[in-house]
Amino acid sequence: MVQGGRVFEGTVPLQQFERLKDLLASAEGDVVYRVEFGIDEFDVAFVDIHVDTGLSLVCQRTMNVFVQPCSIKQRLGLLRDEWEENALPEGYEPLLVTDGQLHIKDVLEDELILALPLVPLSPGAPLEQVPVTAGSAPDDDQAPNPFAALGQLKSSRH
């Protein structure tokens, strides 16, 4: 595949990504992908991945479901051994392929999981404003000092 510069294009339902669908609010929709194999001028085998989809997530600010557009363009350097990672050109991400087999669906799923936000926030979700009134925060001199008991122990020993 690599020497031939093969290209694969297609659509996969989100429902087929077992690990990813558990992280989504809904697994409805499709993933459109293009995967191209090749060898660069440095004789490094690579795979270019292009993915477009929408991911249903729960906004952690409003707790409403929203669809996050997801577009991924990534070049992965195909490695047989971990020590080859240092030889990858800049801009390549390592992909370890120890058995010579590459499962495209698994690679697409890995890239989609990596693209998920740590804290999903829907675009334009309002910030909740908490009113601050005078006297609502304790003054520093009135707040109890949690180390006051330690200070008393120290002074009683001298």
Q: What is the pLDDT of residues 142-152, one digit of tens each?
A: 777 777 777 77
**What's the number of CA atoms in the CB half-sphere (13 Å) around residue 148?**
6
Residue type, 155: S
Q: What is the mean pLDDT of the chain?
A: 87
Residues 72/51, Cβ–Cβ less than 8 Å: yes
Mean pLDDT of 119-148: 71
User: Considering the chain, what percentage of its residues have pLDDT values greater than 70?
Assistant: 87
Spacing of C-alpha 17 from chain mean position: 15
